[in-house]
């Protein structure tokens, strides 16, 4: 009634009068409860006058019987949300609460109500509350003192944070306020299982940290506390202290830190020197960086001593000498501490590297062993990388610039060292030096390029050679002239040279040249020089007659692919590449596919499946990033080439006869294979590029995929069809073409010589539709499920489920703009797994394995978190699958169970008996991979609760003795790991 205005609150109070004044506290309580409930619903409608009276009434009730208090607080909470509360009332309510109520003796919910009242007033009546001065702070301290419930603590911490952040007067109560909050540090709270409130330990830690690190006023109390906890034995306390320290450094200055710097430094140093935990080390270094940054930030008054300087001096004093012992344990911890401090600011960097750089350079010459030199150079590299962070070297007298010559000579000497490890660090250092603008002089730069060429081409170790190529690639955009003028010609010369005596050596040198040419093409101007070299070389090798011909052609394609990936993002470079490479590749392929080629056998290398497969990614990568206009221009050439045999846009287009890949005829077999190149192009186009004569093209592809006898061609045509269908806009046209496809497939699937081709087409079309959630996909999937029961096609269909779920490398993936919904795997799982399970139960014994295999493929590709939640329904089937004799099923089942053992030990514990038995029996499978997987699972079993496992300990240890003597090393390795872990079960010290 009050809500819609038919009653006033006054009338309600009068009506309740009897209750409210009743002498029985229970009745009074009920009366007030009702009133409070009403107020909570309609506090926004109250008049100022009414509020005044209600407030006075409720305040007086605070002295009432304890049974009544909860309802009174509810009422006050309602009133605290009123906008029309007159000035002064907020203060008086709070005063009354502080005075009359002993908050910590109330129940959790009622305490929460008090916090809410305070929060409400703080957000709307800030000025009034500040009028209370420090009394408000003191009142609140009393309210929260002793709070234990995590839900309330979160609110209370928020209030304290606001008190500080909004600048309420703390008066003499700073220490009390600190005490009342810091007593929770470090937070030790484990949420109870099935906690409905979802408060995590991390929430409390973060909100407490926000309070503690919010003011410099706490510093004198907080810093000793942090040091104390840092010195404790508890890992979590150390971590929390370090993170809190780091947070504090954001607002502290010299004044706050001064007194505590020596103890902070000695604690941090001790932790980094001694800890076994990487996490703690990381946090220590972060804290040291924050401290140094904080000190560098502070503005100095003229008379005070520079704390930063003395702080860094003590760091240098404690760490510097360890750098001279590159074999000793403390060398790295010391280097990391120094680098952390140097990473704080430009000032700290200068101060530290001024002292450390000369030392490291000197140590490098003093130590001659490669391993020691490597450690020293790695440390040096750390400092060089910091210089990178601080930007240009030229502007100031940076310590690095002072040592330019020795730094360069140290790095160059590392490149000449026989130790590969040292070379690798040297190459990294070179990359960093190169990225420092203006550091390398032009003569040094030429030396760098020469070194890189030598390492890339002639260093025997592939790691070094690869690193050198990477380095060339990353430096080339900064110095394109040097690389195109010095490196590219050398590579070209080496590529064409015939002088190497042995064939094998020449081959490997050529490989290196091809890789290096690709690696260095990271700048458009360089790429425009390397691409013609690569194409020319391709032209040459494809005509060759060497045995390694195929491999040579593939290598060139791989290099072209790499260049394509490097230049896709750049519009100009990408278009140049596309325009140059795609027609050239097509022309060579068409030439090779001509039936009466002048050269008889050679040239056919280009038509081999592996070679075509290597050309696909080149064309695809050259196409995916084209702008729609340029893509449209290109598509208007390529599609007519395949449909009409229009060769006019190809370079060297005088062919002896016409190109008609879709025409029937024995002699056109070779031409039909080039559909692979069409697929690479047309399936990689952006989705909004219209494909001319698309319907005709689709029909041709469909016909080819169903009728061709060559599996490669048929599969490629099916993939191309699927790739186009996936991007085809929905509508009548799409429905028609799909209907056509279904009509073609069905009879071939049922019987005849081309059942496999029809199945392949079905699989690819299904995949295309499943990815885009097309309604027809479920109908096609059902067909596949039906085929699992087919004795002839069943096994192939089961394998096909892996094709449906996997990422396909050349078509139907995100990279080539396919329509892929992110949750398609989950959706496929939910829609089809129940059917698979039903099918399995209903199937005959000879085809049961097909269902299991299909299922295991689906499960294998499912994200693990989803798998874990879906587990209970499937577990019994998986356990049954362990007994299946098909090793693909065994393997995939084991690989499904492995993560479940680690992530859902509780559920798995229920089946421990079956699991132990099956795993142990699979450890003697004839297939090595199964034995390995079974042993891994046996190992993972140890993450189940120990009490569940102990009854099996003896048996497992005895059974695992046998694989210790397995004939295969890889199996023995797993057996050792698993058995060792089982020995530790239930044993002290685990």
Q: Which residues bind other proteins (CB under 8 A)?
A: 231-233, 235, 274-276, 322, 325, 327-330, 371, 926-928, 961, 964-965, 967-970, 972-973, 976-977, 979-981, 983-984, 987-990
**Which is closer to other proteins, CB of 388 or CB of 419?**
419
**Which is closer to other proteins, CB of 251 or CB of 970?**
970
> What is the nearest approach in angstroms of other proteins to the Cβ of residue 366?
17
> What is the nearest approach in angstroms of other proteins to the Cβ of residue 989?
3
How many CB atoms sit inside 10 A of residue 766's CB?
Answer: 25
In order of 316, 334, 371, the CA distances from 367 in angstroms are: 21, 18, 9
> What is the nearest approach in angstroms of other proteins to the Cβ of residue 275?
7
d(CA 28, CA 851): 70
One DSSP character per residue, 836-847 reads HHHHHHHS-TTT
Query: Residues 608-636, buried b or exposed e (16+ Cβ, 10 A)?
Result: beebbbbbbbbbbbbbbbbeeebbbebbe
Structure tokens at 373: 């030199």
Which stretches of 149-286 are assigned E, i.e. beta strand? none
How far is the first Cα of the chain from the last one, in angstroms, to the nearest whole number? 68
- Tell me the three-class secondary structure of 907-949, residue by residue: HHHCCHHHHHHHHHHHCCCCCHHHHHHHHHHHHHHHHCCHHHH
In order of 553, 678, 713, the CA distances from 542 in angstroms are: 6, 20, 21
**Which is closer to other proteins, CB of 233 or CB of 664?**
233
> What is the nearest approach in angstroms of other proteins to the Cβ of residue 860?
21
**Which is closer to other proteins, CB of 189 or CB of 983?**
983
> What is the nearest approach in angstroms of other proteins to the Cβ of residue 563?
30
| Residues in CB range of 1: below 8 A, 6 or more apart | 7, 12
**Which is closer to other proteins, CB of 523 or CB of 939?**
939
d(CA 489, CA 496): 11
> What is the nearest approach in angstroms of other proteins to the Cβ of residue 242?
16
**Which is closer to other proteins, CB of 102 or CB of 990?**
990
Sign, CA dihedral 665-667-670-671, equals negative
Residue keyed to tokens 């690869």: 466
**Which is closer to other proteins, CB of 857 or CB of 979?**
979
Q: Report the candidate in 298, 234, 236, 287 with the shortest Cα–Cα distance to residue 265.
A: 287
To the nearest 10°, the Cα dihedral for 149, 151, 156, 158?
150
In order of 179, 205, 258, 260, 656, the CA distances from 223 in angstroms are: 13, 17, 11, 7, 87
Helix (H, G, I), strand (E, B), or coil: what is residue 965?
helix
**Which is closer to other proteins, CB of 319 or CB of 691?**
319
**Which is closer to other proteins, CB of 3 or CB of 973?**
973
> What is the nearest approach in angstroms of other proteins to the Cβ of residue 957?
8
> What is the nearest approach in angstroms of other proteins to the Cβ of residue 239?
14
**Which is closer to other proteins, CB of 255 or CB of 958?**
958
> What is the nearest approach in angstroms of other proteins to the Cβ of residue 905?
17
> What is the nearest approach in angstroms of other proteins to the Cβ of residue 419?
11
Residue 484 DSSP class: I
**Is residue 582 a contact partner of residue 630, using CB atoms and an 8 Å limit?**
no
**Which is closer to other proteins, CB of 231 or CB of 831?**
231
d(CA 380, CA 426): 10
**Is residue 868 a contact partner of residue 900, using CB atoms and an 8 Å limit?**
yes
> What is the nearest approach in angstroms of other proteins to the Cβ of residue 562?
25
Phi and psi at residue 586, in whole multiples of 5°? Answer: -60, -45
**Which is closer to other proteins, CB of 235 or CB of 733?**
235
Secondary element (H or E) of residue 159: helix 150-165
> What is the nearest approach in angstroms of other proteins to the Cβ of residue 359?
18
> What is the nearest approach in angstroms of other proteins to the Cβ of residue 939?
10
**Which is closer to other proteins, CB of 663 or CB of 968?**
968
d(CA 767, CA 806): 10
> What is the nearest approach in angstroms of other proteins to the Cβ of residue 962?
8
**Which is closer to other proteins, CB of 44 or CB of 274?**
274
**Which is closer to other proteins, CB of 421 or CB of 715?**
421
Q: Report the candidate in 167, 153, 257 with the shortest Cα–Cα distance to residue 208.
A: 153
Query: Residues 443-458, buried b or exposed e (16+ Cβ, 10 A)?
Result: ebbeebbebbbebbbe
> What is the nearest approach in angstroms of other proteins to the Cβ of residue 489?
36
d(CA 670, CA 597): 12
> What is the nearest approach in angstroms of other proteins to the Cβ of residue 885?
17
**Is residue 705 a contact partner of residue 757, using CB atoms and an 8 Å limit?**
yes
d(CA 349, CA 399): 9
**Which is closer to other proteins, CB of 753 or CB of 988?**
988
d(CA 769, CA 812): 10
**Is residue 472 a contact partner of residue 487, using CB atoms and an 8 Å limit?**
yes
**Which is closer to other proteins, CB of 37 or CB of 924?**
924
Secondary element (H or E) of residue 743: helix 732-750
> What is the nearest approach in angstroms of other proteins to the Cβ of residue 968?
6
**Which is closer to other proteins, CB of 106 or CB of 324?**
324
Structure tokens at 346: 């430009």
In order of 469, 858, 877, 893, 971, the CA distances from 889 in angstroms are: 43, 12, 12, 6, 19
d(CA 896, CA 887): 14
Helix (H, G, I), strand (E, B), or coil: what is residue 23?
coil
> What is the nearest approach in angstroms of other proteins to the Cβ of residue 416?
21
Phi and psi at residue 737, in whole multiples of 5°? Answer: -70, -35
């Amino acid at each position: 009634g009050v809500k819609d205005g038919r009653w006033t609150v006054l009338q309600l109070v009068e009506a309740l009068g009897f209750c409210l004044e009743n002498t029985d506290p229970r009745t009074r309580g009920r009366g007030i409860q009702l009133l409070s409930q009403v107020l909570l619903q309609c506090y926004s409608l109250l008049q100022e006058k009414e509020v005044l009276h209600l407030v006075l009434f409720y305040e007086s009730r605070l002295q009432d019987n304890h049974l009544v208090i909860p309802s009174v607080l509810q009422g006050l909470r309602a009133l605290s949300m009123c906008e029309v509360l007159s000035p002064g009332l907020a203060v008086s309510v709070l005063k009354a609460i502080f005075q009359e109520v002993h908050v910590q003796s109330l129940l959790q919910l009622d305490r929460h109500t008090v916090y809410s009242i305070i929060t409400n007033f703080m957000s709307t009546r800030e000025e009034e509350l500040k009028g209370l001065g420090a009394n408000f702070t003191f009142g609140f301290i009393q309210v929260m003192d002793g709070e234990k419930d995590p839900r309330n603590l979160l609110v209370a911490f928020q209030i304290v944070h606001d008190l500080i952040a909004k600048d309420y007067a703390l008066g003499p109560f700073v220490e009390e306020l600190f005490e009342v909050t810091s007593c929770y540090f470090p937070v030790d709270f484990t949420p109870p299982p099935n906690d409905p409130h979802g408060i995590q330990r991390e929430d409390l830690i973060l909100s407490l940290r926000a309070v503690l690190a919010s003011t410099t006023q706490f510093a004198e109390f907080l810093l000793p506390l942090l040091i104390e906890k840092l010195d404790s034995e508890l890992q979590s306390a150390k971590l929390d202290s370090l993170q809190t320290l780091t947070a504090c450094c954001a607002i502290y200055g010299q004044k706050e830190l001064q007194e505590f710097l020596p103890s902070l430094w000695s604690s941090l140093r001790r932790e980094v020197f001694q800890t076994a935990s990487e996490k703690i080390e990381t946090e220590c270094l972060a804290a040291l960086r924050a401290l140094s940054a904080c000190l560098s930030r502070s503005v100095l008054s003229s008379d005070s001593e520079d704390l930063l300087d003395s702080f860094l001096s003590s760091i240098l004093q404690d760490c510097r000498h360890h750098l001279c012992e590159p074999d000793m344990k403390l060398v790295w911890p010391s280097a990391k501490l120094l680098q952390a401090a140097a990473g704080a600011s430009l000032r700290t960097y200068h101060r530290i590297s001024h002292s450390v750089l000369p030392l490291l350079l000197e140590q490098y010459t003093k130590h001659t062993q490669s391993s020691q030199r490597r450690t020293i150079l790695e440390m040096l590299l750390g400092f060089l990388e910091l210089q990178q962070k601080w930007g240009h070297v030229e502007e100031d007298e940076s310590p690095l610039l002072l040592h330019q010559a020795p730094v360069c000579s140290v790095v160059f000497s590392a490149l000449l060292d026989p130790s590969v490890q040292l070379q690798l660090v040297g190459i990294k250092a070179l990359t960093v030096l190169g990225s420092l603008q203006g550091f390398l002089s032009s003569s040094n730069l030429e030396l760098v390029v020469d070194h890189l060429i030598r390492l890339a081409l002639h260093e025997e170790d592939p790691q070094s050679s690869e690193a050198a190529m990477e380095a060339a690639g990353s430096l080339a955009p900064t110095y394109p002239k040097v690389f195109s003028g010095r490196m590219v010609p050398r590579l070209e010369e080496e590529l064409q040279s015939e002088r190497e005596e042995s064939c094998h050596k020449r081959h490997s040198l050529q490989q290196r040249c091809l890789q290096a040419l690709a690696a260095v093409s990271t700048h458009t101007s360089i790429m425009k020089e390397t691409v013609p070299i690569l194409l020319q070389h391709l032209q040459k090798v494809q005509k060759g007659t060497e045995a390694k011909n195929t491999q040579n052609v593939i290598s060139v394609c791989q290099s072209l692919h790499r260049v394509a990936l490097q230049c896709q993002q750049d519009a100009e470079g990408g278009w140049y590449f596309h325009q140059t490479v795609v027609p050239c590749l097509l022309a060579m392929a068409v030439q090779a596919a001509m039936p009466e080629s002048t050269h008889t056998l050679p040239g056919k290398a280009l038509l081999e499946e592996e070679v075509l497969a290597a050309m696909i990614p080149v064309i695809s990568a050259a196409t995916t990033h084209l702008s729609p206009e340029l893509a449209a221009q290109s598509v208007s050439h390529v599609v007519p080439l395949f449909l009409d045999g229009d060769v006019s846009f190809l370079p060297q287009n005088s062919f002896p006869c016409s190109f008609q890949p879709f025409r029937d005829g024995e002699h056109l077999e070779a031409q039909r294979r080039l559909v692979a190149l069409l697929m690479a192009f047309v399936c990689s186009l952006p989705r909004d590029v219209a494909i001319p004569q698309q319907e005709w093209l689709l029909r041709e592809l469909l016909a080819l995929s169903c009728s061709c006898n060559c599996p490669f061609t048929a599969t490629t045509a099916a993939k191309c069809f699927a790739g186009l269908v996936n991007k085809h806009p929905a509508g009548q046209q799409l429905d028609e073409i799909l209907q056509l496809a279904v009509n073609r497939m069905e009879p071939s699937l049922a019987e005849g010589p081309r059942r496999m081709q029809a199945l392949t087409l079905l699989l690819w079309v299904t995949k295309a539709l499943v990815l885009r959630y097309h309604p027809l996909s479920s109908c096609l999937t059902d067909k596949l499920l039906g085929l699992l029961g087919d004795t002839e096609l069943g096994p192939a269909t089961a394998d096909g489920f892996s094709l449906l779920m996997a990422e396909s490398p050349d078509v139907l993936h995100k990279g080539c703009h396919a329509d892929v919904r992110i949750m398609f795997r989950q959706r496929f799982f939910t829609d089809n797994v129940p059917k698979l399970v039903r099918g399995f139960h209903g199937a005959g014994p000879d085809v049961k394995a097909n269902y299991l295999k299909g299922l295991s493929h689906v499960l294998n590709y499912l994200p693990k978190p989803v798998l874990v939640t879906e587990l209970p329904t499937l577990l019994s089937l998986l356990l049954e699958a362990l007994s299946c004799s098909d090793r693909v099923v065994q393997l995939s089942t084991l690989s499904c169970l492995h993560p479940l053992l680690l992530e859902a030990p509780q559920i798995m514990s229920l089946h421990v008996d079956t699991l132990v038995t099956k795993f142990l029996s699979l450890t003697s499978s004839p297939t090595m991979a199964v034995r390995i997987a079974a042993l891994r699972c046996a190992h993972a079993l140890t993450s189940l609760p120990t009490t569940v496992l102990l009854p099996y300990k003896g048996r497992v240890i005895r059974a695992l003795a046998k694989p210790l003597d397995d004939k295969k090393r890889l199996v023995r390795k797993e057996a050792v790991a698993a058995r060792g872990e089982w020995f530790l079960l239930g044993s002290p010290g685990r």
